[in-house]
Structure 1
Amino acid sequence: MSLVTTDWLEKNLTNENIKVLDCSWHMPNTKRNGKDEFLKEHIPGSIFFDIDKFSDPLAKFPHTIPTSDLFENLSSEIGIKNSDHLIVYDSLGIFSAPRVWWMFNYFGHNKISILDGGLIKWKNENKKIENGPEKISQKSQFKCTTKNEMLVNIAQVKENINNKKFELVDARSKGRFDGTENEPRPDIKSGSIPKSCNLPWMECINPISKCFLSKEELKKKFEKININKSSTVAFSCGSGVTACIVAKAFEIIDGKNFSIYDGSWTEWASQPK
């Protein structure tokens, strides 16, 4: 059950095995702050999951996946247990929650579901909202079992240009991919990684309901970009967040394995010329 509906969550909010995480994160050019917005409104009982905090503090690029030790410590601090069924959502419908879904899967915790439609759908249905700080339960002892195959690095991406071991799908807008639209980070030029293809993340989401498109609709989106169905697939974007949306869409179709290029275009475009 990798996606749950708002009605399902409403019925299961009091289940002691359920933990709800507000994973709201915003692009740097929006001037919005996920934690500030969480304090004003969130789904009852939610805990705020800070994507930037759950990142490697020594990394050169934004919100790089942390070490397993750091992820264990931070998850334990907010009371997450290996027995918990995590429900992740964000304030934009489907945007940053898939990143957290991927992170937990990468660290071996697959008891995690995305709230389809997120906070937008929840509010549109007039379901209950809370405000103020979260109530953190007792510190836990969360443990990771890292799945290294769910991550690719820049060396693998460079090698892949010549040996094509996997398909690389870029989740950014067509303009950013083609180099005709500016990147949100002013020091980064737009463009694309050689031999990658483009499926903008927005095309995987219903613009009205903010839910993922149906399985059949998503299947057609992937058929249009003509990737090799027998190949493994990796996903990239600007900095590793929206790549996870398209990766989730790919997983919805038939549950195939995938990986994320975490450094994504920000790392690629920052290489010395």
Structure 2
Amino acid sequence: MSLVNTNWLEKNLDKVKIIDCSWHMPQTQRNGFDEYKNKHIKNAIFFDLVKNSKKDTDLPHMLIDAKSWEGIVSNMGIKNDAQIVIYDNSDVISSCRCWYNFIYFGHDPSLVHVLDGGLKKWINEKKPTFNNLTNTISSNYTANEKKGLVKNKKQIDENINLNKFQVIDARSRERFEGKVPEPRKGLRSGSIKNSFCLPFSELINEDYTFISKEKILDKFKLIKIKPNKNVVFTCGSGVTASVLALAYSIIDIKYKPTIYDGSWSEYGNN
């Protein structure tokens, strides 16, 4: 159950840990934390996608080390057996990246959920919001890093010849085909050789909920994923790749989300 709906969350507010992981593309000039301070779901804790990523790199949103992750989650007051619901107020459904991070660092996937439709749907349904900062009591969280759930550039390059897994790109078709410039400076246009394109936006309805399981399956069938073939997702910086990973987990409950962490920010670097 990767997704939960707004009614379910409203009934279970006091039984789960709630995370606001709103992150916006730089060109939007929006600040997730400022918006969180103004309006969020009761008891929500803010997760800063930029601050909680690897520091000693120019690449955005790279996974941090396990010890740092333990400190971040412990400071949020989240325990290893906590049931977690993550939401966002972002056009790029950034909550899915936080979902992936928790699974990568060993949290039980059955306990990590994304709020379908996010804060937008919650507000549209006139459900209550708050502007007070949520108090937390530190825990002693322990990470269990699943290194097989991430790919690096060397593995991506080797796979072009070995073809051990299929690479699916969540960026727009225009970016994938190199018809428009990349939003980040210094990146060439184009895509990874032999990769496929499935824009994450095609899996999202107008109200920011995911399309139905049947429609998700149809979208992936168009890519002709081979039976028993591993699937690795990529995008610009590892955020919308996680949207595809979550969607794929809906149609394959045994799938363990696997991301090329550097994504095009690394691969397309001139």
Q: Return the TM-score normalized by structure 1.
A: 0.95
CA deviation string 1:103-145 (max 9, x = no partner): 000001022110000001100100001013x223211111111
Size of the aligned set, in residue pairs, is: 267
CA RMSD for the aligned pairs? 1.2
Could you tell me which residue of structure 2 aligns to residue 128 of structure 1? 128
Q: Distance in 2 between matches of 1:199 and 1:2?
A: 20
Q: Return the TM-score normalized by structure 2.
A: 0.96
CA deviation string 1:118-175 (max 9, x = no partner): 001100100001013x223211111111111111111100000011010000000000
SS in 1 for 2:19: strand
Could you tell me which residue of structure 2 aligns to residue 109 of structure 1? 107
Could you tell me which residue of structure 2 aligns to residue 170 of structure 1? 169
Q: Distance in 1 between matches of 2:79 and 2:166?
A: 35
Q: Distance in 2 between matches of 1:160 and 1:8?
A: 41
> Which blocks of at least 5 consecutive residues in structure 1 are unaligned?
none
Tell me, yes or no, if the aligned pair for 1:238 and 1:266 is still in contact at 8 Å.
Answer: yes
Could you tell me which residue of structure 2 aligns to residue 214 of structure 1? 212
> Which blocks of at least 5 consecutive residues in structure 2 are unaligned?
none
Tell me, yes or no, if the aligned pair for 1:42 and 1:131 is still in contact at 8 Å.
Answer: yes
One-letter amino acid matched to 1:119: L
Change (3 A) 1:34 1:97: same
Deviation at 1:62, TM superposition (A): 0.8
Could you tell me which residue of structure 1 aligns to residue 81 of structure 2? 83
Tell me, yes or no, if the aligned pair for 1:107 and 1:146 is still in contact at 8 Å.
Answer: yes
Tell me, yes or no, if the aligned pair for 2:80 and 2:107 is still in contact at 8 Å.
Answer: yes
SS in 2 for 1:14: helix
2:26 to 25, 28, 41: 28
Q: Distance in 1 between matches of 2:64 and 2:19?
A: 18
Q: Distance in 1 between matches of 2:91 and 2:217?
A: 21
Deviation at 1:94, TM superposition (A): 6.3
One-letter amino acid matched to 1:31: Q
Q: Distance in 2 between matches of 1:146 and 1:24?
A: 24
- Give the ranges of 4+ consecutive aligned residues of structure 1 lying more than 4 Å apart after TM superposition: none
Q: Distance in 2 between matches of 1:135 and 1:225?
A: 43
Could you tell me which residue of structure 2 aligns to residue 150 of structure 1? 149
CA deviation string 1:78-97 (max 9, x = no partner): 21111211100000376100
